[in-house]
Amino acid sequence: MMEMARAHPLDATALDPEVELVARARAGDRDAFEQLFRRHYRQVYAVACRVLPNATEAEDVVQDAFVRAYGALGGFRGEAAFSTWVCRIAINIALRRARRLRAQPASLTEVPEGGPAQEPADAADLECLVEQRAEAHAVRQAVSGLPDKHRVVIALRYFEGYSCDEIARLLGCSVGTVWSRLFHAHRKLRARLGSAGKEAP
């Protein structure tokens, strides 16, 4: 009987262009790393903005994070996505910088997307818009006053839309720890916002 040819598993680089970029960057291809930088810059910058008080500090963190990531590529095993790995580096740098500079908590304002906001159609819409923005500002101010470990999980979960599993990978902790921090953050926010009649995220 003719022996059937054994199927060979597909090379991961053939399935995921990012895996190929990482492999090329690890081999010293600076252009490949530049592509990784362009792919993930906005994501890393948005995360840094949730920890630090101003855009300039966040930009410095992004640059530092990618420089460190490039130098540490040899130790990147691919157990998490490259974006998760570099975001974790950025979060750690941002938290250390915030503590070292004794910075005020980040305002957690939205990262600008560019372009003006749409004008409300009438006075009723304007009143509703003002009320919504006032409530959003109150919530962000309350979140800004939380301890670092609580502020970061709230920001990543509700402002950036990460799942608890993703947050756990970003912070290098268990999902249970993320849930615990979210629980305590919610309790603190309810206490801060309750008297103002606002609702925690």
**Residue extents of the structural domains in the chain:** 12-101, 123-194
Q: Are 185 and 146 in contact (CB under 8 A)?
A: yes
Residue found by looking up tokens 């801060």 in the block: 192
Gyration radius of the chain over CA positions: 21
Say if residue 142's pLDDT is above 90. no
* Structure-token pair, residue 68: 């460190």
Q: Which fold has domain 123-194?
A: Arc Repressor Mutant, subunit A (1.10.10)
The pLDDT value recorded for residue 138 is 76
Residue found by looking up tokens 């606002």 in the block: 198
Q: If DSSP codes are grouped into helix, strand and coil, which group holds residue 174?
A: coil
Q: Are 87 and 47 in contact (CB under 8 A)?
A: yes
19's enclosing H/E stretch is: helix 17-26
The pLDDT value recorded for residue 111 is 46
Distance from CA of residue 24 to its chain's centroid?
25
Q: Which fold has domain 12-101?
A: Rna Polymerase Sigma Factor; Chain: A (1.10.1740)
Q: Is the pTM of this model over 0.85?
A: no
The pLDDT value recorded for residue 134 is 58
Say if residue 149's pLDDT is above 50. yes
pLDDT in tens, 49-81: 888 878 888 899 999 999 999 999 988 888 888
Q: If DSSP codes are grouped into helix, strand and coil, which group holds residue 197?
A: coil
Q: Are 76 and 70 in contact (CB under 8 A)?
A: no
143 residue type, one letter: V
* Structure-token pair, residue 49: 């903005």
pLDDT in tens, 95-139: 888 877 654 444 444 444 433 344 444 555 545 555 555 566 777
